[in-house]
Amino acid sequence: MKLIVNGMELDVVSPPLTPLLHVLRDELDITSPKAGCQQGGCGTCTVLVDGEPRRSCLTAVATVDGAAITTVEGLGERDALSPVQAAFHRHYAAQCGFCTPGMVIAATALIERAGGPVERDDVLEALGGHYCRCTGYVKIIDAVMAASRGEVEEIEDVPVSVAGEPEVQPKGSPA
């Protein structure tokens, strides 16, 4: 089997019924899609399959053989965030961050599909399957609407690693 993950064509050897989530995380070492509930309920494993958001925990890898998969790793760079990532940063739309990958992917697909400003109800519909236990959603919804309006300001304070200093490894993080 093959997957085109963030533009790179990769061979996959996991068994056919393996959830796409575990192929990405365990075989390909792409860890932005999180293994949250693994029951399709929380949304943090969402990735784009040929441009459409789908739950990677519910998707057997054989059923997407040959498809183009996009994860957060394929959206922006550390110093060149995607519009949705920048808006999440600007609007404080992430707290613990565990739901953020799925939120960002689903919001990116929504804005791509709409091609312009989206309404609050569109955001509620598109993020309906994504649970956040910290923010109360208000800032997330604000961020997605701002990104859809192209309100992306320069982000200057994204932390960058300094040569010689070890990167911070969050303790106890499921990531």
Question: Which residues of the shown chain bind another protein in the complex (CB under 8 A)?
Answer: 15-19, 38-41, 43, 46, 49, 52-55, 57-60, 62-63, 106, 124-126, 128-129
Task: Please report how close the Cβ of residue 125 comes to another protein at its closest, in angstroms.
Answer: 7
Task: Please report how close the Cβ of residue 76 comes to another protein at its closest, in angstroms.
Answer: 21
70 φ/ψ angles, rounded to the nearest 5 degrees: -120, 130
Q: Which is nearer to another protein, 64 or 93 (CB)?
A: 64
- Helix 83-90 with 100-114: angle, nearest 10 deg: 120
Q: Are 81 and 142 in contact (CB under 8 A)?
A: no
Q: Which is nearer to another protein, 81 or 144 (CB)?
A: 144
Cα 67–Cα 80–Cα 160 angle in degrees, nearest 5: 115
Q: Which is nearer to another protein, 15 or 150 (CB)?
A: 15
Query: Which H or E element spans position 88?
Result: helix 83-90
Task: Please report how close the Cβ of residue 16 comes to another protein at its closest, in angstroms.
Answer: 5
Task: Please report how close the Cβ of residue 160 comes to another protein at its closest, in angstroms.
Answer: 33
Exposed/middle/buried for 155, CB within 10 Å: 0-12, 13-18, 19+? middle
Q: Which is nearer to another protein, 60 or 152 (CB)?
A: 60
Exposed/middle/buried for 9, CB within 10 Å: 0-12, 13-18, 19+? exposed
Q: Which is nearer to another protein, 106 or 146 (CB)?
A: 106
Task: Please report how close the Cβ of residue 59 comes to another protein at its closest, in angstroms.
Answer: 6
* Among candidate residues 143, 74, 65, 151, the one with its CA nearest the CA of residue 110: 143
Tokens read off for 31: 């860890």
Task: Please report how close the Cβ of residue 163 comes to another protein at its closest, in angstroms.
Answer: 40
Q: Which is nearer to another protein, 49 or 111 (CB)?
A: 49
